[in-house]
């Protein structure tokens, strides 16, 4: 029998319809990219095909906008938001409007066109994570931006148009509704119980164990109780930490290792499935104008985390009409299958 499950963080219901569950091998996974290796602007030697870089990690020397980089950051050629100007929020009758101000950056994760994020060696993953952290911190200094979203589209089914591994960052002059709901849930929980909601969820899941993929000294990966999608994964620090940008550099290898394991388990089980991942970090407390008392308890009630969302099912009329998702794979079964994956050496 199907079951309705409620997610207290996102304040939404999910239908888990396990009797409809296909086996992992039954999902159809086809990636057809618009741009292949032959014309890839992210490959070394084609730096002139991208806008001038914002940042390049070059451990062996080399010049900006030239070869020799290990991680490279460039503006998106087709940005969703423009860097110049002020938001200038104003009324439009009963509505609000503002200029489309923000930043839209692309982080090219490796010079190797063929190497997915899940396959990067650990030292390179640490470099990538350090660049993520650096770019988030840099964008947080801009008081026009209220939220910085880092996300990845892997595979054409997840919205990627280029095969070469890359992540994107968008800085926005507003806090997205999905994030605002999480923030409000976390704040309300802390006001009532004087504890972090995500810390409470993590402690419960570790004690229960049925939805856990793995637990390390510093990180935990699990399939959420009310997963929207088959094999959805949440990755979070075990110790309370509200801002990804404030994570100690000493923790970067542990984070990179945990992210690598989660992605490799997903890839080996589901044959290079397309996925999106989203980093939910703290909003920008330096943004202007400020609201009185806003985010006063943020460092205690918020807890950064990554959502990894495999693209195995489609959102259709029922989901759009109700806000509910129908998940044909129970998270307990998904976690068991992911735990059973043999990673090898």
Q: What is the CATH number of the domain that holds 199?
A: 3.30.428.10
DSSP per-residue letters across 79-139: -SSBSSS----EEETTEEE---B-EEEEEE--S-TT--GGGS-HHHHHHHHHHHHHHHHHH
Structure tokens given for 193: 């119980």
* Domain assignment of residue 344, yes or no: no
Q: Tally the domains of the chain.
A: 1
pTM strictly above 0.95: no
User: By three-state DSSP, how is residue 191 classified?
Assistant: helix
pLDDT confidence of residue 222: 98
43-48: long-range pairs with CB below 8 Å, 24+ = 43/111, 43/113, 43/164, 44/68, 44/69, 44/111, 47/72
Domain enclosing residue 327, as ranges? 3-21+31-339
In a domain, 194, yes or no: yes
Residue 26 falls inside a structural domain:
no
Is the residue at 13 inside a domain?
yes
Q: pLDDT means per 10 residues in the chain (345 residues)?
A: 92 84 57 74 95 91 88 95 90 92 97 95 98 98 96 92 95 94 96 97 98 98 97 98 97 98 96 94 92 85 98 89 93 97 84
Specify the 3-state DSSP secondary structure of 185: helix
Is residue 345 one of the residues assigned to a domain? no
Q: Is residue 247 part of a domain?
A: yes
Residue 138: inside a domain, yes or no? yes
Domain membership flag for residue 8: yes
- Closest C-alpha to 210, from 336, 52, 24: 336
Cα(150)–Cα(255) distance, integer angstroms: 15
């Amino acid at each position: 029998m199907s079951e309705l499950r409620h997610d207290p963080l996102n304040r939404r219901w999910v239908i888990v319809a396990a009797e409809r569950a296909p086996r992992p091998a039954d999902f159809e996974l086809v990636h057809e990219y618009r741009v292949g290796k032959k014309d890839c602007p992210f490959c070394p030697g084609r730096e002139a095909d991208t806008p001038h870089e914002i940042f390049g990690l070059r451990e062996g020397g080399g010049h900006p906008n030239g070869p020799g980089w290990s991680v490279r950051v460039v503006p998106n050629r087709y940005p969703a938001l423009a860097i110049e100007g002020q938001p200038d929020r104003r009324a439009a009758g009963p509505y609000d409007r503002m200029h489309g101000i923000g930043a839209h950056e692309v982080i090219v994760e490796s010079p190797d066109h063929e190497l997915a994020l899940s396959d990067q060696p650990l030292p390179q993953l640490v470099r990538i994570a350090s660049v993520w952290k650096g770019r988030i911190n840099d964008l947080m200094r801009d008081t026009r931006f209220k939220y910085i979203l880092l996300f990845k589209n892997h595979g054409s089914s997840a919205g990627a148009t280029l095969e070469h591994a890359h992540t994107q960052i968008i800085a926005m002059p507003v806090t997205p509704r999905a994030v605002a709901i999480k923030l409000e849930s976390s704040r309300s929980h802390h006001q009532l119980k004087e504890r972090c909601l995500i810390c409470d969820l993590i402690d419960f899941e570790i004690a229960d164990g049925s939805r856990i993929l793995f637990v390390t000294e510093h990180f935990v990966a699990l399939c959420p109780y009310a997963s929207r999608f088959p094999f959805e994964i949440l990755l979070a620090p075990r110790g309370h930490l509200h801002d990804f940008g404030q994570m100690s550099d000493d923790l970067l290898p542990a984070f990179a290792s945990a992210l690598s394991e989660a992605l490799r388990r997903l890839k080996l089980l589901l044959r290079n499935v397309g996925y999106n991942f989203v980093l939910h970090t703290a909003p920008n407390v330096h943004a202007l104008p400020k609201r009185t008392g806003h985010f006063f308890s943020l460092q205690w009630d918020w807890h950064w985390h990554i959502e990894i969302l495999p693209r195995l099912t489609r959102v259709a009329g029922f989901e759009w009409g109700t806000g509910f998702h129908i998940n044909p794979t129970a998270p307990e079964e998904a976690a068991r299958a992911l735990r059973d994956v043999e990673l090898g050496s």
